[in-house]
Chains A and B, each alone.
Chain A
Amino acid sequence: MPHKTFFWFFFPTGLAMILFIGLPIVSSFFQSLHIENQQILMEVENCDPFGCTTNVRVDVEATEKLKEQNPLGRFNGFGTYADRNHLAFDEIGEAWNTSSSTSEFKDIVLNLPFYKAMLFTLTFCFAVTPPVIILGFIVALSINTLAKSLKGLAIFGSILPMIVTPLIGSLVLFWMIDSQGIIGATIKILFNDPNLSLKSSSTLTWITLIIYGIWHNTPFAFIVFYAALQTVPQDPIEAALIDGASRFQRVRYIVIPHLYPVATFIMLICLMDNFRVFEPIIGFSAEGVAQSLSWMIYQDLRNENKMLFGSAGATSMLTIIGIAILLTPVLLRTWREFRTER
């Protein structure tokens, strides 16, 4: 296809992607270098019969004017990245100097907002992915042995957790697990502890979120494994059968090695998708004990009256760096696939 034809075919979609994916990233970066305008203070002298007092007050008019002149705020360089809510260099340095043991230092660092969110995000990613792969594989094996007439129904039932949006999925589970829901209330009666609830401890909330993550992601792993199972060559299996291999041995030594590349693909996609976790936190109302990087950005932006563009931009940039690190293996894989294709 000549360059010119290619250009016109590709132009609309390319323009859309550059305008609404490329530029926003640049704009996010630009925002992260700025910080909200300071309020302009003025001294006002109040005189009454008992004498005069001077008060400091916000000059609303001047502040508004400054905001109009400079809507993005003043230039701050990389200041926002280093502040307490992001990388917090000063706080970490101080903690390093004052804390007497490594565990104390760790405590202080992991209580800083950014590192706290980072810890949750990574824990979530790495706790959800392995069970998803194992469970997805077992479900795929099981459904593969079903009679044809039942397969369609079983597949439909299995993919439901994946096709609802995470917010709705987490709400549906939350309404059952909550202390007022069916499972939560039953557990309370079983353990005979009226105060036992999801929100009573942060560990419990984290576990609930991780269980939700497994519930939501398993269908994807199942579908991909299921499709891959159809491509397993039959000849080696037959040969193994003749040699007297048991069913378990056939799965262990023929099927699993064949599915190995598929499993790495699922793992990478899972890690990447779970790195942006934030809707479940809202669904489970777990903001108090579990914050993720994406949730921090959402929190900065949700208040219509005072959006913290600088802070949101800085967190976005740091999130993108995290995604880039996770993405590198996927990119290398695609790169290699393309090379061999050509």
Chain B
Amino acid sequence: MESQINRYSKQLIIFNSIFILIWLSISIFPFLWTLWGSFKVKADFFTRSDWTYALNGFNTLIETGATATVKAYFESWIEGEFWRATMNTMIVTVSVVTISLFLGTLGAYALSRSTFKYTFYILIAALIFRAMPHITLVSGYLFPFFQLNIWGILPTTIIVLVAINQPFTLWLLYSFFKTVPKELDESALIDGCSYFQAFRFIIMPVMWPGVVTAGLFSMMLAYNDFTVTALLLNQENYTMVPKINAYLGTVEYGGNYMWAVSSVVSATAPLFMIIWFFQRQLISGLTAGAVKG
């Protein structure tokens, strides 16, 4: 029976394969194209006359003497100070993931083990907080942060990102903690553990899949954030994404497009590698709860 359900007609298989190929090329090709173009000069990648220039590197050959060049990477990392942005991103991402997992596991454990009614209202409040557009929160931060003189520095941004991330982390970890049987920590309590000991030595060791998933989403939020970092950091402390936006320039000052292209590749490559390794956790997280990061 099983085999008959999964037996497909020839036309279906052909149609299906063509559809998947088209879909995958739509979803992947733009990234491959950007990767390819980042090794060309601007006259090739942004050409008005002949798009085959981007393929054969016509102007790149004239300008640099080879059909591919790492000039854009070299310049953006050193002259454009992309190394500084990379370092800032690493600081922000690592801190946000660590702090938000620490706070999130504690809070979500309490929510999943308490039988009182207020946990329900807390979870609903978290859902409302999760739906707030980040830009509306930022408009509330700026004025107090200027008054307190803590605008523009990394620690402020880190704590803000941690807080913005909490509602989602709480919901995700809450649904993971719910799957861990209550009897496990109850027996630990009977044996004389305190709640914290039960949490630390009994529950946490079996919670690693959930923690990795929650960490992955915190990482993506911190790594990808533009709204908060662009408005709460000053130019020297920019992380990668606002830095790329700065390379694009404004109407008054023309930007350096090839810097932006190479930085986009530098910023996405590590992210894709991490997702490649943690794909399973990412998918389980997206489907676990009623919320999305």
Residues of A in contact with B (beta carbons under 8 Å apart): 1, 3, 5-6, 9-10, 12-14, 16-17, 19-28, 31, 71-72, 138-139, 142-143, 145-146, 152, 154-161, 163-168, 171-173, 175-176, 178-182, 185-186, 215, 219-220, 223-224, 226-228, 234, 237-238, 241, 247, 265, 269, 272-273, 275-276, 278-279, 282, 285, 294, 297-298, 300-302, 307, 309, 312-313, 315-317, 319-320, 323, 327, 330-331, 333-335, 337-338
Contacts and interface: CB of A to CB of B under 8 A. Distances in A.
B121 to A, nearest CB: 10
Contacts of B94: none
Nearest to B126: A17
B48 A185 contact: yes
A154 B226 contact: no
B244 to A, nearest CB: 7
Main secondary structure of the interface of A (DSSP, over half): helix
B104 interface: yes
B271 A163 contact: yes
A142 B220 contact: no
B51 A186 contact: yes
Contact of B135 (A13, A16, A167, A298): A298
A13 B264 contact: no
Contact of A334 (B28, B54, B124): B124
Contacts of B220: 163
A236 to B, nearest CB: 11
Nearest to A180: B46
Given A25-B136, A28-B139, A158-B27, 10 more contacts: A9-B110, A10-B122, A13-B106, A19-B163, A157-B27, A160-B272, A163-B275, A241-B1, A275-B133, A316-B140
Contact of B134 (A13, A176, A276): A276
Contacts, number: 278
B210 interface: no
Interface in B3-26: 4-6, 8-9, 12-13, 16, 19-20, 23-24, 26
Contacts of A160: 27-28, 31, 272
Interface residues of B, number: 103
Given A167-B245, A301-B231, A272 B282 contact: no
Interface stretch (B62-70, B74-82, B283-291): B283-291
B12 A227 contact: no
Contact of B139 (A20, A31, A185, A275): A31
Nearest to A304: B234
Contacts of A298: 135, 227, 231
A327 B114 CA distance: 26
23 contacts: A3-B116, A13-B106, A13-B107, A20-B163, A21-B163, A24-B139, A24-B140, A27-B141, A145-B12, A158-B23, A158-B27, A164-B271, A165-B224, A168-B224, A175-B37, A182-B51, A185-B47, A185-B51, A241-B4, A275-B133, A279-B227, A297-B136, A301-B138
A336 to B, nearest CB: 12
Interface in B129-171: 129, 131-144, 146-147, 159-160, 162-164, 166-167, 170
Contacts of A142: 16, 19-20, 23
B162 to A, nearest CB: 6
A145 B5 contact: no
A320 B271 contact: no
B33 A334 contact: no
B115 interface: yes
Most B-side CB within 10 Å, residue of A71, A168, A182: A168
B107 A146 contact: no
B46 A282 contact: no
Interface in B205-228: 220, 224-227
Contacts of A181: 46
Contact of A320 (B134, B136, B170, B227): B136
B166 A13 contact: yes
A231 to B, nearest CB: 10
B266 to A, nearest CB: 11
B56 interface: no
Nearest to B50: A185
B30 A176 contact: yes
For the complex of A and B, list the 4 residue pairs with the smallest distance between their C-beta atoms, beginning with the closest. Answer: A24-B140, A20-B163, A9-B110, A13-B107
Nearest to B224: A165
A241 B287 CA distance: 29
Given A13-B106, A178-B46, A320-B136, A24 B127 contact: no
